[in-house]
């Protein structure tokens, strides 16, 4: 089959999540044709997986202007801009109506399995940029199909590929075998079956970001209702002034409050904190409970369940025939990586960015949304909206608009990243000349009180 002329083809958007749907809305505004490919049966499949979690951004910060224009003729009314939606609210009140407004431009129930240039594998230079993209996919009933595109915007997110408990980036020894007692998601304790799994049990929470804060706060609430419930918070680093995020200094107050809730869980005795612990192995004891073993040989007391919240990573497997320029550490676009690298950046603003930072050696292919951040943990929805505004302007030939910055991001909040090493001179209290003691510490107990202030969806067609 001869590939059609590139100018007659749609822009394929992989993933009908927040950024992917916003991309489609911006393409329509630019009089370009989008085709959104979504692996799930409905829009925002990944968001629906964490429907019980409340966002730390308000409605005003999680809706896109071009999307609102597309929704307006349908009678849609934006919710109170100052209110905080849950994942379910976001999906049902905004994202699914937006997908419905896009109509047959959204294709559900299939998975993208490969993207390349038509008739050109990764090796071939000849006439490469004049060829359209070819996208291979499987449908929900197992059929294989292909389609052509003038450009590809990958907004498939990172939700489907959580990072493991193992501190090396690989699953800890025994982690897969213990999967019946390990989850990589914040549990929904309003679900009776899920609640029974953690009620009255001892649970380890591995991670140091907003998701870990949420899990700790949720388990602390359960502790008040179900005696015997207790959490063990496992951090790969020591405790410092930035451990709990921005607190009252965070311009996203709900994000700052998450860190305070995690601190309160430990201060009030609902959770213990283990610092400087990098998981190497998971073993079962004689009672079918799990024992976590650290790289330094420490063996923690047995737990009933483990919640691993060590971050997410991009699935790049179906892009292997494209020439991507990715940072070797973050797996994010090279020009963007220096702006978001948690090895360098702590709390603060990530400079708003667009097509220039998101371009690759392969022309007209872009990773956007959470996937553009690779393994970095600081992504905000409004960042994705600015990305696709700039990219779609560039695809339409409006390079002046593509180069503008039309976004101001809130400051402070997420500090560093899960699994990064502290300076060896930093102790739990935030200073001193000793490495963190390999001990179980109660933050807020004698001598250790800290004075601190206040999923994109996976793609397919």
The alpha carbon of residue 277 and the mean position of all alpha carbons in its chain are separated, in whole angstroms, by: 23
pLDDT exceeds cutoff 70 at 243: no
Closest CA to 339 of 282, 248, 405: 405
Closest CA to 372 of 157, 61, 211, 114: 157
Burial pattern 69-101, b for ≥16 Cβ within 10 A else e, equals ebbeeeebeebeeeebbbbbbbbbbbbbbbbeb
CA–CA separation, 81 and 445 (whole Å): 39
Residue 313 contacts residue 332 (beta carbons within 8 Å) = no
pLDDT of 238 reads 72
DSSP secondary structure letters along 212-265: HHHHHHHHHHHHHHSTT-EEEEE-SS---TTTTTTGGG-SSHHHHHHHHHHHHH
pLDDT of 417 reads 30
Evaluate the CA torsion angle 104, 106, 111, 112 in order and state its sign. Answer: positive
pLDDT exceeds cutoff 90 at 453: no
CA torsion, ordered 27, 32, 35, 38, to nearest 10 deg: -10
pLDDT top residue among 448 and 456: 456
Of 134-138, 151-155, 336-340, 362-366, which range is least confident?
336-340
pLDDT of 458 reads 34
Residue 115 has phi, psi (to 5 degrees) of -135, 135
Q: How confident is the model at residue 245 (pLDDT cuts 50, 70, 90)?
A: low
CA-to-CA separations, 265 to 196, 271, 276, in angstroms, rounded: 20, 6, 19
pLDDT of 57 reads 86
Q: How confident is the model at residue 260 (pLDDT cuts 50, 70, 90)?
A: confident
- The SS3 assignment for 149 reads strand
Over range 261-278, report the average pLDDT. 88
Q: How confident is the model at residue 254 (pLDDT cuts 50, 70, 90)?
A: low
Q: Express each pLDDT in 303-319 by its tens digit.
A: 999 999 999 999 999 99
Q: Which neighbouring-strand residues pair with 107? A: 37
pLDDT exceeds cutoff 50 at 346: no
pLDDT of 433 reads 29
Give me the percent of the chain exceeding a pLDDT of 90: 71
pLDDT exceeds cutoff 60 at 443: no
CA–CA separation, 414 and 377 (whole Å): 8
DSSP tag of 424: T
Give me the percent of the chain exceeding a pLDDT of 70: 82
pTM here is 0.85
pLDDT of 244 reads 58
Of 6-15, 99-108, 261-270, which range is least confident?
261-270
Residue 331 contacts residue 99 (beta carbons within 8 Å) = no
Q: Express each pLDDT in 290-299 by its tens digit.
A: 999 999 999 9
pLDDT of 422 reads 35
Closest CA to 13 of 46, 35, 41, 40: 35
Q: How confident is the model at residue 246 (pLDDT cuts 50, 70, 90)?
A: low
Q: pLDDT averaged over the chain? A: 85
CA–CA separation, 261 and 265 (whole Å): 6
pLDDT top residue among 453 and 192: 192
CA–CA separation, 182 and 117 (whole Å): 40
- The residues, any chain, with a CB within 8 Å of residue 152's CB and separated by 6 or more, are 11, 12, 14, 115, 133, 135, 364, 365, 366
pLDDT exceeds cutoff 50 at 6: yes
Q: How confident is the model at residue 248 (pLDDT cuts 50, 70, 90)?
A: low
Angle at 122 between CA 120 and CA 128, to 5 degrees: 45
Residue 36 has phi, psi (to 5 degrees) of -95, 125
Q: Express each pLDDT in 52-71 by its tens digit.
A: 998 888 999 999 999 999 99
CA-derived radius of gyration, the chain: 23
Over range 187-208, report the average pLDDT. 96
pLDDT exceeds cutoff 60 at 44: yes
pLDDT exceeds cutoff 80 at 442: no
pLDDT of 242 reads 58
CA–CA separation, 149 and 135 (whole Å): 7
- First-residue to last-residue Cα distance in the chain: 20
Q: Express each pLDDT in 116-175 by its tens digit.
A: 999 999 999 999 999 999 999 999 999 999 999 999 999 999 999 999 999 999 999 999
Q: Express each pLDDT in 79-105 by its tens digit.
A: 999 999 999 999 999 999 999 999 999
């Amino acid at each position: 089959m001869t590939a059609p002329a590139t100018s007659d083809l749609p822009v394929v958007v992989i993933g009908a999540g927040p950024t992917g749907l916003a991309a489609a809305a911006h393409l329509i505004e630019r009089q370009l044709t989008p085709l959104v490919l979504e692996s799930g049966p409905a829009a925002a499949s990944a968001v629906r997986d964490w429907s019980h979690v409340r966002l730390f951004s308000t409605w005003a910060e999680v809706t896109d202007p071009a999307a609102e224009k597309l929704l307006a003729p349908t009678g849609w009314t934006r919710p109170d801009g100052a209110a905080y939606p849950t994942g379910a609210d976001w999906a049902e009140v905004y994202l699914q109506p937006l997908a419905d407004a896009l109509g047959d431009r959204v294709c559900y129930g299939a998975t993208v399995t490969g993207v390349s240039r038509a008739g050109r594998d990764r090796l071939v230079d000849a006439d490469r940029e004049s060829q359209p993209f070819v996208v291979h996919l499987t449908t929900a009933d197992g059929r294989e199909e292909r389609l052509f595109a003038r450009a590809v915007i990958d907004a498939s997110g990172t939700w489907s590929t959580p990072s493991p408990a193992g501190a090396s980036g690989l699953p800890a020894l025994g982690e897969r075998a213990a999967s019946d007692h390990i989850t990589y998601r914040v549990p929904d304790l309003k679900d009776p079956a899920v609640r029974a799994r953690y009620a009255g049990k001892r649970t380890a929470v591995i991670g140091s970001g907003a998701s870990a804060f949420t899990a700790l706060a949720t388990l602390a609430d359960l502790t008040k209702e179900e005696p015997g419930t207790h959490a063990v918070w496992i951090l790969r680093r020591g405790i410092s002034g930035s451990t709990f995020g921005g607190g009252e200094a965070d311009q996203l107050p709900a994000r700052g409050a998450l860190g305070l809730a995690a601190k309160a869980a430990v201060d009030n005795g609902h959770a213990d904190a283990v610092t400087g612990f990098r998981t190497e192995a998971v073993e079962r004891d004689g009672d079918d409970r799990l024992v976590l073993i650290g790289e330094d040989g420490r063996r923690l007391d047995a737990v009933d369940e483990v919640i691993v919240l060590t971050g997410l990573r991009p699935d790049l497997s179906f892009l292997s025939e494209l020439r991507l320029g990715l940072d070797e550490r973050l797996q994010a676009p090279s020009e963007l990586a220096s702006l978001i690298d948690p090895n360098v950046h702590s709390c603060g603003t990530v400079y708003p960015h667009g097509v220039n930072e998101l371009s690759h050696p392969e022309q007209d292919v872009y990773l956007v949304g959470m996937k553009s951040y690779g393994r970095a943990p600081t992504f905000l929805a409004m960042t994705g909206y600015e990305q696709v505004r700039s990219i779609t302007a560039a695809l339409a030939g409006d390079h002046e608009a593509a180069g503008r910055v039309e976004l101001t991001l809130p400051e402070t909040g997420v500090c560093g990243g899960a699994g990064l090493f502290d300076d060896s001179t930093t102790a739990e209290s935030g200073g001193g000349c000793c490495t963190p003691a390999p001990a179980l510490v109660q933050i807020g107990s004698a001598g250790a009180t800290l004075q601190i202030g206040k999923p994109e969806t996976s793609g397919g067609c």
